[in-house]
Amino acid sequence: MRMKYMIDRRAFMGLTAAAGMAAGVLAMAPTARAAEDATTDIVLGGSIPLTGVFAFAGEGIHAGIQDYVQIVNDAGGIEGRMLKYVPEDTAYKVDASVAAFNKITSQYHTNLYYGDSTAFSKTINPELERAGTMIMAGASFASELNDPEKYPLQFIPGPDYTEMIGILLKYIAKEKPGAKVAFVHSDTEFGRDPIAKGTEQASALGLDVVETIVTPPGSVDVSTEVLKLRRARPDYTIFHGYVLAPIPEFITQAKQMGMESKFMGTFWSMDNSMVMKMGEAGDGFMGVMPYNYYYDTSGDAPMLAKIREIRPEYQSTAYMQGFLTTMLMTEAIKRTLQDGKELTGANMKAALNSIRDFDTGGIIGVPISIPGNSIPVGRIYKADMAEKKMIPASDWISLGKTGE
Protein backbone atom coordinates (compact mmCIF):
# COMPACT_ATOMS: atom_id res chain seq x y z
CA MET A 1 0.00 0.00 0.00
CA ARG A 2 1.37 3.36 -0.98
CA MET A 3 1.32 6.17 1.54
CA LYS A 4 0.34 9.53 0.19
CA TYR A 5 1.70 12.68 1.79
CA MET A 6 -0.78 15.36 0.96
CA ILE A 7 -0.14 19.06 1.37
CA ASP A 8 -2.75 21.56 0.40
CA ARG A 9 -2.04 24.65 -1.62
CA ARG A 10 -2.54 27.07 1.25
CA ALA A 11 -0.06 25.23 3.47
CA PHE A 12 2.44 25.07 0.62
CA MET A 13 2.23 28.82 0.05
CA GLY A 14 2.57 29.51 3.75
CA LEU A 15 5.66 27.34 4.08
CA THR A 16 7.26 28.89 1.01
CA ALA A 17 6.66 32.39 2.34
CA ALA A 18 8.09 31.49 5.75
CA ALA A 19 11.18 29.90 4.22
CA GLY A 20 11.68 32.91 1.98
CA MET A 21 11.46 35.32 4.89
CA ALA A 22 13.88 33.26 6.97
CA ALA A 23 16.37 33.14 4.13
CA GLY A 24 16.03 36.86 3.61
CA VAL A 25 16.60 37.65 7.27
CA LEU A 26 19.64 35.37 7.39
CA ALA A 27 21.10 36.84 4.23
CA MET A 28 20.58 40.42 5.33
CA ALA A 29 21.77 40.06 8.91
CA PRO A 30 25.54 40.31 8.34
CA THR A 31 25.12 43.16 5.88
CA ALA A 32 22.96 45.08 8.29
CA ARG A 33 25.43 44.45 11.14
CA ALA A 34 28.42 45.46 9.05
CA ALA A 35 26.74 48.55 7.76
CA GLU A 36 25.79 49.62 11.25
CA ASP A 37 29.25 49.03 12.72
CA ALA A 38 31.11 50.73 9.91
CA THR A 39 29.88 54.05 11.23
CA THR A 40 30.11 53.29 14.91
CA ASP A 41 32.53 51.52 17.22
CA ILE A 42 35.76 49.81 16.36
CA VAL A 43 35.71 46.58 18.31
CA LEU A 44 38.71 45.04 20.03
CA GLY A 45 37.78 41.54 21.16
CA GLY A 46 39.88 39.66 23.64
CA SER A 47 40.36 36.11 24.86
CA ILE A 48 41.87 37.17 28.17
CA PRO A 49 43.15 34.74 30.84
CA LEU A 50 41.66 36.47 33.87
CA THR A 51 41.66 33.19 35.81
CA GLY A 52 43.79 30.04 35.64
CA VAL A 53 47.53 29.55 35.40
CA PHE A 54 48.16 32.71 33.37
CA ALA A 55 45.90 35.00 35.39
CA PHE A 56 48.88 36.90 36.81
CA ALA A 57 49.53 38.16 33.28
CA GLY A 58 45.88 38.34 32.20
CA GLU A 59 45.02 40.84 34.90
CA GLY A 60 47.81 43.17 33.77
CA ILE A 61 47.05 42.77 30.08
CA HIS A 62 43.36 43.48 30.72
CA ALA A 63 44.15 46.65 32.66
CA GLY A 64 46.63 47.82 30.00
CA ILE A 65 44.11 47.38 27.19
CA GLN A 66 41.35 49.03 29.22
CA ASP A 67 43.50 52.07 29.97
CA TYR A 68 44.68 52.65 26.41
CA VAL A 69 41.12 52.26 25.10
CA GLN A 70 40.05 54.87 27.66
CA ILE A 71 42.85 57.23 26.59
CA VAL A 72 41.84 56.87 22.91
CA ASN A 73 38.15 57.41 23.61
CA ASP A 74 38.78 60.38 25.91
CA ALA A 75 40.68 61.95 23.03
CA GLY A 76 37.69 61.54 20.70
CA GLY A 77 38.35 58.04 19.39
CA ILE A 78 40.03 57.06 16.13
CA GLU A 79 38.95 59.41 13.36
CA GLY A 80 35.82 60.04 15.38
CA ARG A 81 35.01 56.41 15.99
CA MET A 82 35.05 55.03 19.51
CA LEU A 83 37.08 51.98 20.46
CA LYS A 84 35.06 49.26 22.17
CA TYR A 85 36.88 46.59 24.20
CA VAL A 86 35.01 43.28 24.54
CA PRO A 87 36.91 40.81 26.75
CA GLU A 88 35.99 37.26 27.76
CA ASP A 89 37.75 35.22 30.42
CA THR A 90 39.34 32.05 29.06
CA ALA A 91 41.13 30.60 32.10
CA TYR A 92 44.03 30.11 29.63
CA LYS A 93 42.28 27.19 27.96
CA VAL A 94 42.35 26.95 24.19
CA ASP A 95 38.80 25.67 23.84
CA ALA A 96 37.52 28.51 26.02
CA SER A 97 39.57 31.01 23.98
CA VAL A 98 38.10 29.72 20.73
CA ALA A 99 34.60 29.80 22.22
CA ALA A 100 35.21 33.41 23.34
CA PHE A 101 36.45 34.30 19.84
CA ASN A 102 33.36 32.76 18.24
CA LYS A 103 31.04 34.48 20.69
CA ILE A 104 32.61 37.92 20.32
CA THR A 105 33.01 37.80 16.54
CA SER A 106 29.42 36.62 16.10
CA GLN A 107 28.05 39.38 18.31
CA TYR A 108 30.23 42.23 17.02
CA HIS A 109 31.88 43.22 13.79
CA THR A 110 35.32 42.69 15.31
CA ASN A 111 38.30 44.60 13.86
CA LEU A 112 40.99 43.74 16.37
CA TYR A 113 41.61 40.73 18.55
CA TYR A 114 43.86 39.88 21.50
CA GLY A 115 44.63 36.18 22.00
CA ASP A 116 45.89 34.62 25.20
CA SER A 117 48.30 31.91 24.09
CA THR A 118 50.48 30.47 21.35
CA ALA A 119 48.12 27.51 21.01
CA PHE A 120 45.16 29.84 20.47
CA SER A 121 47.09 32.00 17.99
CA LYS A 122 47.90 28.91 15.96
CA THR A 123 44.44 27.39 16.27
CA ILE A 124 42.53 30.48 15.27
CA ASN A 125 44.84 31.52 12.42
CA PRO A 126 42.89 29.77 9.60
CA GLU A 127 39.66 31.36 10.83
CA LEU A 128 41.37 34.73 11.07
CA GLU A 129 42.50 34.43 7.47
CA ARG A 130 39.12 33.13 6.31
CA ALA A 131 37.30 36.08 7.90
CA GLY A 132 39.91 38.58 6.70
CA THR A 133 38.31 41.31 8.77
CA MET A 134 40.68 41.76 11.68
CA ILE A 135 44.27 41.73 12.87
CA MET A 136 45.40 39.95 15.99
CA ALA A 137 48.16 40.05 18.58
CA GLY A 138 48.40 38.46 21.97
CA ALA A 139 50.31 37.27 24.98
CA SER A 140 52.46 34.94 22.89
CA PHE A 141 55.97 35.83 21.78
CA ALA A 142 56.35 32.46 20.06
CA SER A 143 58.99 32.45 17.35
CA GLU A 144 56.69 30.49 15.05
CA LEU A 145 54.25 33.40 14.92
CA ASN A 146 56.99 35.65 13.59
CA ASP A 147 56.32 34.53 10.04
CA PRO A 148 54.28 37.00 7.95
CA GLU A 149 53.60 34.36 5.32
CA LYS A 150 52.14 31.80 7.71
CA TYR A 151 50.55 34.33 10.04
CA PRO A 152 49.76 37.31 7.77
CA LEU A 153 47.20 38.92 10.08
CA GLN A 154 49.02 38.54 13.38
CA PHE A 155 51.87 40.38 15.06
CA ILE A 156 53.95 40.23 18.24
CA PRO A 157 54.19 43.45 20.28
CA GLY A 158 57.90 42.94 21.01
CA PRO A 159 60.71 40.57 20.06
CA ASP A 160 59.86 36.87 19.68
CA TYR A 161 61.48 34.41 22.09
CA THR A 162 64.35 33.62 19.70
CA GLU A 163 65.00 37.34 19.30
CA MET A 164 64.94 37.77 23.10
CA ILE A 165 67.64 35.10 23.39
CA GLY A 166 69.45 36.81 20.51
CA ILE A 167 69.46 40.11 22.42
CA LEU A 168 70.81 38.38 25.55
CA LEU A 169 73.52 36.60 23.56
CA LYS A 170 74.49 39.80 21.78
CA TYR A 171 74.93 41.42 25.18
CA ILE A 172 76.96 38.46 26.50
CA ALA A 173 79.20 38.38 23.41
CA LYS A 174 79.98 42.04 23.95
CA GLU A 175 80.51 41.73 27.71
CA LYS A 176 82.59 38.55 27.67
CA PRO A 177 83.63 37.32 24.22
CA GLY A 178 83.80 33.52 24.01
CA ALA A 179 81.82 33.09 27.23
CA LYS A 180 80.36 29.75 28.27
CA VAL A 181 76.56 29.78 28.22
CA ALA A 182 73.99 27.31 29.58
CA PHE A 183 70.28 27.19 28.77
CA VAL A 184 67.77 26.02 31.37
CA HIS A 185 64.25 25.65 30.01
CA SER A 186 60.95 24.05 30.90
CA ASP A 187 59.84 21.00 28.98
CA THR A 188 56.96 22.87 27.35
CA GLU A 189 56.33 24.37 23.93
CA PHE A 190 57.03 27.76 25.53
CA GLY A 191 60.28 26.53 27.09
CA ARG A 192 61.62 24.76 24.01
CA ASP A 193 60.77 27.58 21.60
CA PRO A 194 64.08 29.45 21.24
CA ILE A 195 66.60 26.81 22.33
CA ALA A 196 67.66 25.27 19.02
CA LYS A 197 67.99 28.61 17.22
CA GLY A 198 69.50 30.18 20.33
CA THR A 199 72.24 27.55 20.28
CA GLU A 200 72.97 28.37 16.62
CA GLN A 201 73.02 32.10 17.41
CA ALA A 202 75.46 31.51 20.26
CA SER A 203 77.86 29.64 17.95
CA ALA A 204 77.60 32.41 15.38
CA LEU A 205 78.53 34.93 18.08
CA GLY A 206 81.51 32.83 19.20
CA LEU A 207 79.89 31.73 22.45
CA ASP A 208 80.11 28.21 23.81
CA VAL A 209 76.85 26.51 24.84
CA VAL A 210 78.13 24.11 27.50
CA GLU A 211 74.85 22.69 28.79
CA THR A 212 71.13 22.64 28.02
CA ILE A 213 69.02 21.59 30.97
CA VAL A 214 65.34 20.65 30.73
CA THR A 215 63.01 20.74 33.72
CA PRO A 216 59.64 18.94 33.64
CA PRO A 217 56.62 21.24 34.04
CA GLY A 218 55.60 21.73 37.67
CA SER A 219 58.84 20.29 39.06
CA VAL A 220 59.50 21.42 42.64
CA ASP A 221 63.02 20.32 43.52
CA VAL A 222 65.72 21.13 41.00
CA SER A 223 68.76 19.80 42.90
CA THR A 224 69.69 17.34 40.16
CA GLU A 225 69.55 20.04 37.51
CA VAL A 226 71.70 22.40 39.57
CA LEU A 227 74.28 19.64 40.00
CA LYS A 228 74.41 19.25 36.22
CA LEU A 229 74.78 22.99 35.83
CA ARG A 230 77.66 23.06 38.33
CA ARG A 231 79.55 20.49 36.27
CA ALA A 232 79.22 22.66 33.16
CA ARG A 233 80.45 25.80 34.97
CA PRO A 234 78.83 28.34 32.64
CA ASP A 235 79.62 32.05 32.80
CA TYR A 236 76.00 32.83 31.97
CA THR A 237 72.87 30.78 32.60
CA ILE A 238 69.77 31.71 30.62
CA PHE A 239 66.37 30.59 31.94
CA HIS A 240 63.44 30.38 29.58
CA GLY A 241 59.91 29.03 29.94
CA TYR A 242 59.33 30.11 33.53
CA VAL A 243 57.62 32.89 35.42
CA LEU A 244 59.10 32.52 38.90
CA ALA A 245 59.61 28.92 40.12
CA PRO A 246 62.01 27.19 39.95
CA ILE A 247 64.39 30.10 39.21
CA PRO A 248 64.91 31.28 42.84
CA GLU A 249 65.65 27.78 44.14
CA PHE A 250 67.94 27.16 41.17
CA ILE A 251 69.96 30.30 41.86
CA THR A 252 70.01 29.71 45.62
CA GLN A 253 71.41 26.21 45.28
CA ALA A 254 73.88 27.28 42.57
CA LYS A 255 75.21 30.05 44.81
CA GLN A 256 75.42 27.63 47.76
CA MET A 257 77.60 25.40 45.60
CA GLY A 258 79.88 28.34 44.95
CA MET A 259 78.90 28.92 41.33
CA GLU A 260 79.60 32.38 39.95
CA SER A 261 77.46 32.19 36.84
CA LYS A 262 75.32 35.20 35.95
CA PHE A 263 71.64 34.29 35.73
CA MET A 264 69.35 35.71 33.08
CA GLY A 265 65.72 35.45 32.04
CA THR A 266 63.31 36.37 29.27
CA PHE A 267 60.15 38.48 29.25
CA TRP A 268 57.76 36.47 31.44
CA SER A 269 60.30 36.07 34.26
CA MET A 270 61.31 39.73 34.17
CA ASP A 271 58.41 41.54 35.79
CA ASN A 272 59.70 43.71 38.62
CA SER A 273 57.32 42.32 41.22
CA MET A 274 58.20 38.74 40.23
CA VAL A 275 61.95 39.29 40.41
CA MET A 276 61.61 41.01 43.78
CA LYS A 277 59.85 37.87 45.07
CA MET A 278 63.07 35.96 44.47
CA GLY A 279 64.47 37.59 47.60
CA GLU A 280 68.22 37.46 48.13
CA ALA A 281 68.66 34.97 45.29
CA GLY A 282 67.37 37.52 42.82
CA ASP A 283 70.07 40.10 43.45
CA GLY A 284 71.93 40.60 40.20
CA PHE A 285 69.39 38.59 38.18
CA MET A 286 69.45 39.91 34.63
CA GLY A 287 67.26 39.60 31.60
CA VAL A 288 65.80 41.07 28.47
CA MET A 289 62.85 43.44 28.53
CA PRO A 290 61.38 45.13 25.45
CA TYR A 291 59.49 47.76 27.49
CA ASN A 292 60.43 50.39 30.00
CA TYR A 293 59.37 49.60 33.54
CA TYR A 294 56.45 51.44 35.11
CA TYR A 295 58.70 53.52 37.35
CA ASP A 296 61.16 54.61 34.66
CA THR A 297 61.47 58.41 34.70
CA SER A 298 64.55 58.77 32.54
CA GLY A 299 64.09 60.21 29.08
CA ASP A 300 60.99 61.55 27.43
CA ALA A 301 58.17 59.15 28.36
CA PRO A 302 54.79 60.90 28.39
CA MET A 303 52.86 57.62 28.17
CA LEU A 304 54.57 56.24 31.27
CA ALA A 305 53.70 59.48 33.08
CA LYS A 306 50.11 59.10 31.91
CA ILE A 307 49.99 55.51 33.15
CA ARG A 308 51.35 56.58 36.54
CA GLU A 309 48.67 59.28 36.63
CA ILE A 310 45.89 56.77 35.87
CA ARG A 311 47.25 54.09 38.19
CA PRO A 312 49.49 55.35 40.99
CA GLU A 313 50.46 51.81 42.04
CA TYR A 314 53.04 49.68 40.17
CA GLN A 315 51.83 48.11 36.92
CA SER A 316 53.38 44.91 35.59
CA THR A 317 55.22 44.36 32.34
CA ALA A 318 52.15 42.39 31.19
CA TYR A 319 50.23 45.66 31.58
CA MET A 320 52.78 47.39 29.33
CA GLN A 321 52.35 44.61 26.79
CA GLY A 322 48.55 45.01 26.71
CA PHE A 323 48.88 48.78 26.60
CA LEU A 324 51.39 48.79 23.73
CA THR A 325 49.44 46.17 21.76
CA THR A 326 46.36 48.39 21.87
CA MET A 327 48.45 51.42 20.93
CA LEU A 328 49.85 49.66 17.85
CA MET A 329 46.45 48.30 16.84
CA THR A 330 44.98 51.78 17.18
CA GLU A 331 47.78 53.20 15.03
CA ALA A 332 47.08 50.57 12.35
CA ILE A 333 43.36 51.48 12.33
CA LYS A 334 44.17 55.20 12.22
CA ARG A 335 46.54 54.82 9.28
CA THR A 336 44.05 52.63 7.39
CA LEU A 337 41.22 55.11 7.88
CA GLN A 338 43.44 58.09 6.99
CA ASP A 339 44.35 56.34 3.73
CA GLY A 340 40.63 56.01 3.02
CA LYS A 341 40.84 52.25 2.95
CA GLU A 342 38.38 49.69 4.18
CA LEU A 343 39.12 48.13 7.57
CA THR A 344 40.10 44.69 6.30
CA GLY A 345 42.70 42.51 7.96
CA ALA A 346 45.10 42.90 5.04
CA ASN A 347 44.76 46.70 4.96
CA MET A 348 45.25 47.02 8.71
CA LYS A 349 48.28 44.73 8.69
CA ALA A 350 49.78 46.72 5.81
CA ALA A 351 49.17 49.89 7.81
CA LEU A 352 50.84 48.30 10.84
CA ASN A 353 53.84 47.33 8.71
CA SER A 354 54.08 50.92 7.48
CA ILE A 355 55.05 51.98 11.00
CA ARG A 356 58.59 53.36 10.89
CA ASP A 357 60.48 55.02 13.73
CA PHE A 358 57.30 55.27 15.74
CA ASP A 359 57.37 56.98 19.12
CA THR A 360 55.56 54.85 21.70
CA GLY A 361 55.62 57.65 24.24
CA GLY A 362 58.34 55.91 26.21
CA ILE A 363 56.79 52.44 26.48
CA ILE A 364 59.76 51.30 24.41
CA GLY A 365 62.80 53.53 24.89
CA VAL A 366 63.63 53.91 21.19
CA PRO A 367 61.56 54.62 18.07
CA ILE A 368 60.24 51.35 16.65
CA SER A 369 59.47 49.91 13.24
CA ILE A 370 57.38 46.84 12.45
CA PRO A 371 58.57 45.56 9.09
CA GLY A 372 57.36 42.01 9.77
CA ASN A 373 55.50 40.37 12.63
CA SER A 374 57.71 41.43 15.54
CA ILE A 375 59.59 44.35 17.07
CA PRO A 376 63.12 42.97 17.60
CA VAL A 377 64.19 45.46 20.24
CA GLY A 378 65.06 45.01 23.90
CA ARG A 379 67.26 46.06 26.72
CA ILE A 380 69.14 44.19 29.42
CA TYR A 381 68.07 44.93 32.98
CA LYS A 382 69.61 43.85 36.25
CA ALA A 383 67.87 43.38 39.61
CA ASP A 384 68.94 45.69 42.40
CA MET A 385 67.41 44.23 45.55
CA ALA A 386 68.40 47.22 47.69
CA GLU A 387 66.52 49.56 45.34
CA LYS A 388 63.86 46.89 44.74
CA LYS A 389 64.01 47.75 41.07
CA MET A 390 65.22 46.42 37.75
CA ILE A 391 67.99 48.74 36.62
CA PRO A 392 69.14 49.10 32.98
CA ALA A 393 72.39 47.21 32.36
CA SER A 394 72.67 48.05 28.68
CA ASP A 395 71.40 50.45 26.10
CA TRP A 396 68.56 49.41 23.80
CA ILE A 397 69.65 46.56 21.54
CA SER A 398 68.08 46.12 18.12
CA LEU A 399 68.43 42.98 16.06
CA GLY A 400 68.43 42.56 12.32
CA LYS A 401 65.77 40.41 10.74
CA THR A 402 67.75 37.23 11.32
CA GLY A 403 68.27 37.88 14.93
CA GLU A 404 71.97 38.31 14.56
Distance in Å, CB of 281 to another protein, minimum: 9
Q: Which of 199, 273, 344, 369 binds another protein (CB under 8 A)?
A: 273
- Asked if 312 touches another protein (CB under 8 A), the answer is no
Nearer to another protein, 131 or 244 (CB): 244
Q: Does 385 help bind another protein (rule: CB under 8 A)? A: no
Minimum distance from residue 244 beta carbon to another protein (Å): 4
DSSP for 135-187, written as a single string: EEEES---GGG--TTTSTTB--SS--HHHHHHHHHHHHHHHSTT-EEEEEEES
The residue among 175 and 187 lying less far from another protein, judged by its C-beta, is 187
Task: Return contacts of 397-401, CB within 8 angstroms, 24+ apart.
Answer: 397/167, 397/170, 397/171, 398/366, 399/159, 399/163, 399/166, 399/167, 399/170, 400/376, 401/371, 401/372, 401/376
Give the shortest CB-280-to-another protein separation in angstroms: 8
Q: How far apart are CA 43 and CA 67, in angstroms?
A: 15
Of the ranges 11-19, 56-64, 125-133, 354-362, which one interacts with another protein (CB under 8 A)? Answer: 56-64
For residue 14, state whether it binds another protein (rule: CB under 8 A): no
CA distance 382 to 177: 20
Q: Least CB distance from residue 225 to another protein, whole Å? A: 6
Q: Who's near 210: CB < 8 A, 6+ residues apart? A: 180, 181, 182, 232, 233, 234
**Contact pick of 256, 297, 298, 338 for another protein (by CB under 8 A):** 256
In this chain, which stretch among 63-71, 223-231, 285-293, 322-330 interacts with another protein, using CB under 8 A? 223-231
Q: Which of 153, 169, 205, 213 binds another protein (CB under 8 A)?
A: 213
> Any contact of residue 237 with another protein (CB under 8 A)?
no
- Lay out the site mask for another protein across 140-179 (x = CB under 8 A, - = otherwise): ----------------------------------------
244 binding another protein? (CB under 8 A): yes
The correct pick among 138, 166, 246, 362 for binding another protein (CB under 8 A) is: 246
Q: Is 88 in the site for another protein (CB under 8 A)?
A: no
53 makes contact with another protein (CB under 8 A): yes
In this structure, which amino acid lies at residue 106? S
Please enumerate in sequence order all residues whose Cβ is within 8 A of that of 87, keeping only pairs 6 or more positions apart, or say none. Answer: 45, 46, 48, 50, 62, 65, 114
10 Å CB burial of residue 338 (0-12, 13-18, 19+) is exposed
- Tell me the chain's radius of gyration from C-alpha atoms: 25
Query: Which own/partner contact pairs does 346-351 have at CB distance under 8 Å and 24+ positions apart?
Result: 346/132, 346/152, 346/153, 348/111, 348/112, 348/134, 348/135, 349/135, 349/152, 349/153, 349/155
In the region spanning residues 173 to 202, those forming contacts with another protein, defined by CB under 8 A, are 187
Stretches 96-104, 160-168, 221-229, 341-349: which one binds another protein (CB under 8 A)? 221-229
Check binding of 89 to another protein (CB under 8 A): no
Site residues, another protein (CB under 8 A): 51-53, 55-56, 58-59, 187, 213-221, 223-228, 231, 243-246, 248-249, 252-253, 256-257, 273-274, 277-279
